[in-house]
């Protein structure tokens, strides 16, 4: 009995953890990037091993809760290796209690897809794109973003 | 006045452009950087070979670690053909203690690095070259006047996480092209990597 209970618990934990992170391909991201709604999209590229990424995560979390009821979507795109999903990414999300939407981009050959996301991106992390699909305003940061920059850019894109 | 403004704009544009670093075809900037054995290493030390595989890399970055074995193998494969690897650590050790000079010595001993591993203490070489991440490759080709020019910039290959799944060995293809007296194609590629940790 105990075993079955443990098994159920295991399956439950597995499913609920999985619900947090979708493994996506480039096509999914391109669909988000080509959105034409007036939602302000904040797309942050990060990884659990990237120290400056982790330092700025709280700002995205704060923006996520601050703008919860407005047209702002925060999307954290993890570039952790897909083999690290169970071992590293999910435990990290749990430990940090991250609430923003998180996906794991599983695409080989960055040379083939970096330019499709942002031509000026050289490939270093962190990197953040903030855009409004209606006004076509778009800003790209290939560096750590400050909290002020994040909030003022979102605000500017909303107007 | 218009011409003056235009000239001023051009000057600004040019300076912005150069701030982005070296491009394929540019002359490589020489340097004198401290190697793990305490000696100073310059590009001119490589004048006997045919080129230098300059790789900005470091100890701590998982991408650099994932490529360590491959970098060692590249060096061993191409050193006899005149294309040795020169690894440069550009990171600020205050920001990442694991990338200190002492830790570089430790790592090179652990892994038996067969190539020079130098530290860019002022970070000026990484800035002048336009390196942004680790690993970031600048393949240099020696010209007849013993100067070095940039022949290829970018990634080592197309799959950092799984050597067995690599389809495009960009860097070794580029070196093979130079050996065959051809121009590398592609001459530049992009890769995901750790941002260089600049001094604050």
Q: What is the pLDDT of residues B102-120, one digit of tens each?
A: 999 999 999 999 999 999 9
Q: Three-state SS for B123?
A: coil
Report the pLDDT value the prediction gives residue A6, as an integer from 0 to 100. Answer: 56
Separation between Cα atoms, residue B125 and residue B121, nearest integer Å: 9
Does the residue A111 lie in any domain? yes
* Total domains, chain A: 1
Do the Cβ atoms of A122 and B161 come within 8 Å? no
pLDDT at B40: 98
Tell me which residue range forms the domain holding B92. Answer: 24-195
B194 with A124: Cβ contact below 8 A: yes
Q: Is residue B176 a part of any domain in this protein?
A: yes
pLDDT band, very low/low/confident/very high, at B20 (cuts 50, 70, 90): confident
User: A113: Cβ–Cβ under 8 A, 6 or more apart, which residues?
Assistant: A26, A107
Asked whether residue A115 is assigned to any structural domain, the reply reads yes
Among B62, B168, B195, beta carbon nearest to A143: B195
Q: Partners of A152 in the beta sheet?
A: none
Residue A8 lies in a domain: no
Whether B13 is covered by a domain: the verdict is no
Q: pLDDT tens digits for B172-200?
A: 999 999 999 999 999 999 999 999 999 98
Answer whether residue B129 shows pLDDT above 60: yes
B83 located within any domain? yes
In-domain check, residue A10: no
Q: How far apart are the first and last CA of chain A?
A: 59
Q: Does B58 touch chain A (CB under 8 A)?
A: no
Distances (CA, A) of B149 to A151, A153, B30: 44, 41, 11
* Residue range(s) defining the domain that contains residue A33: 21-158
- In this predicted structure, what is the pLDDT of residue B161? 85
Report the CATH number at residue A86.
3.40.30.10
In a domain, B19, yes or no: no
**Domain assignment present for B184:** yes
B200 within a domain of the structure (yes/no): no
* Whole-number Å distance between alpha carbons of B37 and B117: 9
pLDDT at residue A2, as a whole number: 58
Among all residues of chain B, which has the CA nearest to that of A144? B195
Domain count, chain B: 1
Query: Tokens in use for B154?
Result: 């970018």
| Residue A7 confidence (pLDDT) | 54
Task: Kindly list the strands in the beta sheet with A40-46, ordered across the sheet, starting from the edge strand earlier in the chain.
Answer: A21-24, A101-105, A72-78, A40-46, A127-132, A138-141
CATH number for the domain harbouring residue B165: 3.40.30.10
pLDDT for residue B21 is more than 60: yes
ipTM metric: 0.74
B191 to chain A, any CB pair closer than 8 A? The answer is yes
Q: What pLDDT does residue A159 have? A: 82
Per the domain annotation, does A11 fall within a domain?
Answer: no
Closest Cα in chain B, distance from residue A138 (Å): 21
- Position with higher pLDDT, A4 vs B27: B27
pLDDT in tens, B35-70: 999 999 999 999 999 999 999 999 999 899 999 999
Query: What is residue B78's predicted lDDT score, i.e. its pLDDT?
Result: 98
Is residue A75 a contact partner of residue A100, using CB atoms and an 8 Å limit?
yes
Report pLDDT digits (tens) over B130-151: 999 999 999 999 999 999 999 9
Cα dist from A70 to A64, B7, B185, whole Å? 10, 46, 47
| Residue A1 falls inside a structural domain | no
pLDDT number for residue A20: 79
Q: Is B9 a domain residue?
A: no
Residues A45-91 have pLDDT tens digits of: 999 999 999 999 999 999 999 999 999 999 999 999 888 999 999 99
Domain membership flag for residue B95: yes
Indicate yes or no: CB of A115 within 8 angstroms of CB of B190: yes
Looking at the predicted structure, is the pLDDT value of residue B171 above 90?
yes
- What string of DSSP letters covers A12-24? HHHHHHHTTEEEE
pLDDT for residue A15 = 44
Q: What angle do CA B159, A102, A24 make, to 5 degrees?
A: 45
Cβ proximity of B155 and B184 under 8 Å: no
pLDDT at B14: 37
Do the domain assignments include residue A33?
Answer: yes
Intervals of chain A under pLDDT 70: 1-19
3-state secondary structure of B31: coil
């Amino acid at each position: 009995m105990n075993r079955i209970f443990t098994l159920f618990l295991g399956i439950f934990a597995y499913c609920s953890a999985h619900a947090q992170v979708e493994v996506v391909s480039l096509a999914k991201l391109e669909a988000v990037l080509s959105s034409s709604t007036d939602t302000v999209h904040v797309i942050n590229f990060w990884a659990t091993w990237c120290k400056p990424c982790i330092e700025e995560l709280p700002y995205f979390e704060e923006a996520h809760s601050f703008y919860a009821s407005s047209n702002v979507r925060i999307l954290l795109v993890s570039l952790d290796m897909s083999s690290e999903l169970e071992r590293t990414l999910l435990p990290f999300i749990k430990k940090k209690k991250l609430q923003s939407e998180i996906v794991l981009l599983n695409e080989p050959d960055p040379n083939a897809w970096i330019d499709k996301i942002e031509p000026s991106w050289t490939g270093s992390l962190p990197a953040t794109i903030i855009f409004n699909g209606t006004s076509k305003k778009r800003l790209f940061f290939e560096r750590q973003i400050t909290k002020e920059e994040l909030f003022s850019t979102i605000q500017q894109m909303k107007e | 006045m218009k011409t003056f403004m235009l000239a001023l704009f051009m000057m600004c544009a040019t300076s912005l452009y150069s701030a982005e670093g070296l491009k394929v075809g540019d002359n490589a900037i020489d340097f004198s950087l401290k190697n793990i054995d305490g000696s100073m290493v310059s590009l001119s030390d490589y004048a006997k070979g045919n080129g230098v595989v300059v790789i900005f890399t470091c100890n701590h970055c998982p991408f650099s670690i994932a490529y360590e074995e491959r970098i060692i193998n590249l060096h061993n494969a191409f050193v006899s053909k005149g294309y040795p690897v020169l690894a440069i650590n550009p990171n600020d050790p205050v920001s990442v203690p694991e990338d200190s000079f002492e830790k570089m010595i430790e790592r090179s001993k652990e892994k038996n690095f067969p190539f020079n591993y130098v530290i860019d203490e002022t970070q000026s070489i990484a800035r002048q070259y336009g390196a942004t991440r680790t690993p970031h490759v600048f393949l240099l080709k020696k010209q007849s006047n013993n100067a070095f020019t940039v022949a290829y910039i970018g990634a080592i290959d197309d799959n950092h996480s799984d050597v067995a799944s690599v389809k495009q060995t960009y860097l070794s293809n580029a070196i093979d092209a130079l050996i065959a007296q051809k121009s590398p194609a592609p001459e530049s590629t992009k890769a995901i990597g750790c941002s260089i940790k600049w001094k604050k």
